[in-house]
């Protein structure tokens, strides 16, 4: 990923827009109301431009936007791989943030063919999609050698809880995390939108050169169709969620070879597809 040049459009010495802000609120406890300070997650319009053409406007947390832009481009099939993305630049404006990507000529030609107007909203992954064929695309089956026991999965989610900094401040964000083959959580990305958090993680994986064939994606949300689609598109063989999946997500996971686990709690989980990557040797149920 050294070919990608990234640059932030913030003033020198500025870390960028804040991810959360403080408000005065009236907090009621047992009928007593007190004025207190509360921290709320920021969500801002993020416009994605490809070679000067505006493609999508998403509402997202204003952090890790280079990861988000790359991950979105990969998971949506707008580019075939990270080598197709030459530059990513971000610029803050009065109305939001613009992320400009410069992509390879071949990728740009394909991009123009399938260009569509999209407006993303918090928690929505399919807004603006024009055809059923675009929604129901099926990635190639994953080739993954990932293997984890249940205990490793529970420990990983415990690790994830300690690393959700934005959630600790606001209580209103999702996270997507990368579980390495050694059982350690290597990357965590947060956002007000679960799809955005996963796109940020996918972008970070691509930029960091992680071995996606041996790890797993953890998400603090339900496992919807779009979450499985993005996981499979990234070539990851195991998706584990704290909530349940949809029926469509299970069917897609079955088709693409993704091991899908839901309702992951300390000491228990449910495996819906391809259980060979998630074998709990301590229980012989």
User: Cα angle vertex 86, ends 69, 124, to 5°?
Assistant: 15
pLDDT of residue 198: 98
Assess whether 163 and 94 both reside in one domain.
Answer: no
User: Cα angle vertex 213, ends 209, 217, to 5°?
Assistant: 85
| Count of domains forming the chain | 2
pLDDT of residue 174: 96
Place of tokens 């993680």: 201
Assess whether 131 and 170 both reside in one domain.
Answer: no
Burial of 175 by CB count in 10 Å (0-12 exposed, 13-18 middle, 19+ buried)? buried
pLDDT digits (tens, 9 = 90+) for 201-246: 999 999 988 889 999 999 999 999 999 999 999 999 999 999 999 9
Active-site residue list: 124
Identify the CATH number of the domain in which residue 64 sits: 3.10.20.10
Assess whether 171 and 98 both reside in one domain.
Answer: no
| pLDDT level of residue 132 (50, 70, 90 thresholds) | low
Assess whether 75 and 175 both reside in one domain.
Answer: no
The last residue of a domain, from among 92, 109, 135: 135
Compute the average pLDDT of residues 155-183: 94
Assess whether 157 and 272 both reside in one domain.
Answer: yes
Assess whether 154 and 124 both reside in one domain.
Answer: no
Identify the CATH number of the domain in which residue 214 sits: 3.40.140.10
Pairing of strands 238-241, 216-219: parallel
Give yes or no for residue 250 having a pLDDT over 90: yes
Give yes or no for residue 279 having a pLDDT over 90: no
Least reliable range by pLDDT among 9-13, 150-154, 164-168? 9-13
User: Six-digit token pair at 141?
Assistant: 């089956």
d(CA 138, CA 36): 49
Rounded to the nearest integer, the mean pLDDT of the chain is 87
Task: Specify whether the CB–CB gap between 138 and 255 falls below 8 A.
Answer: yes
Assess whether 74 and 155 both reside in one domain.
Answer: no
pLDDT digits (tens, 9 = 90+) for 67-99: 999 999 999 999 999 999 999 999 998 889 999
Assess whether 157 and 265 both reside in one domain.
Answer: yes
Give yes or no for residue 1 having a pLDDT over 70: no
Q: Three-state DSSP class for 63? A: coil
d(CA 178, CA 185): 6
Assess whether 81 and 172 both reside in one domain.
Answer: no
d(CA 84, CA 259): 29
pLDDT of residue 5: 55
Does residue 120 sit within a domain?
A: yes
The last residue of a domain, from among 106, 135, 164: 135
Give yes or no for residue 18 having a pLDDT over 70: yes
- Alpha-carbon Rg of the chain, whole angstroms? 19
Does residue 79 sit within a domain?
A: yes
Q: Domain of 183?
A: 150-277
pLDDT of residue 281: 55
Does residue 80 sit within a domain?
A: yes
Assess whether 87 and 130 both reside in one domain.
Answer: yes
User: Six-digit token pair at 66?
Assistant: 């280079």
Assess whether 184 and 125 both reside in one domain.
Answer: no
Does residue 48 sit within a domain?
A: yes
Does residue 32 sit within a domain?
A: no
Query: Distances from the Cα of 13 to the Cαs of 7, 64, 99, 100, 152, in angstroms?
Result: 13, 17, 19, 21, 40
Q: Three-state DSSP class for 42? A: coil
Residue 78 DSSP class: S
Does residue 143 sit within a domain?
A: no
pLDDT of residue 136: 64
Tell me which of 144 and 138 has the higher pLDDT: 144
The conformational region for residue 90 under phi > 0 = left, psi -120 to 50 = alpha, else beta, is beta
Does residue 20 sit within a domain?
A: no
Does residue 223 sit within a domain?
A: yes
Assess whether 55 and 128 both reside in one domain.
Answer: yes
The last residue of a domain, from among 109, 135, 161: 135
| pLDDT level of residue 138 (50, 70, 90 thresholds) | confident
d(CA 262, CA 240): 6
């Amino acid at each position: 990923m050294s070919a990608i040049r990234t640059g932030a459009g913030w003033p020198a010495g500025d870390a960028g827009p804040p991810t959360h802000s403080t408000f005065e609120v009236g907090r009621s406890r047992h009928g007593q109301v007190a004025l207190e300070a509360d921290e709320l997650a920021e969500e801002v319009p993020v416009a994605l431009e490809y070679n000067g053409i505006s493609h999508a406007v998403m509402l997202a947390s204003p952090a890790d936007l280079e990861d988000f832009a790359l991950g979105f481009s990969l998971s949506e099939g707008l580019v075939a791989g990270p080598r197709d993305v030459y530059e990513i630049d971000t610029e803050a404006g009065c109305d939001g943030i613009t992320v400009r990507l410069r992509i390879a000529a071949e990728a740009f030609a394909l991009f123009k063919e399938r260009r569509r107007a999209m407006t993303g909203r918090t928690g929505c992954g399919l807004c603006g999609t024009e055809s059923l064929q675009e929604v129901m695309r099926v990635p190639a089956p994953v080739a993954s050698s990932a293997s984890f026991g249940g205990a490793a999965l529970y420990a990983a989610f415990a690790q994830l809880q300690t690393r959700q900094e934005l959630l600790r401040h606001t209580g209103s964000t999702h996270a997507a995390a990368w579980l390495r083959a050694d059982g350690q959580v290597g990357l965590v990305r947060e956002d007000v939108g679960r799809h955005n958090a996963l796109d940020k993680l996918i972008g970070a994986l691509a930029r960091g050169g992680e071995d996606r064939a041996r790890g797993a994606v953890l998400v603090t949300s339900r496992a919807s169709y779009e979450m499985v689609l993005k996981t499979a598109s990234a070539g990851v063989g195991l998706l584990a969620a704290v909530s349940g999946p949809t029926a469509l997500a299970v069917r897609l996971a079955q088709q693409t070879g993704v091991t899908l686990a839901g309702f992951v709690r300390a000491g228990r989980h449910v495996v819906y597809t391809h259980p060979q990557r998630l074998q709990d040797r301590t229980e012989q149920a």
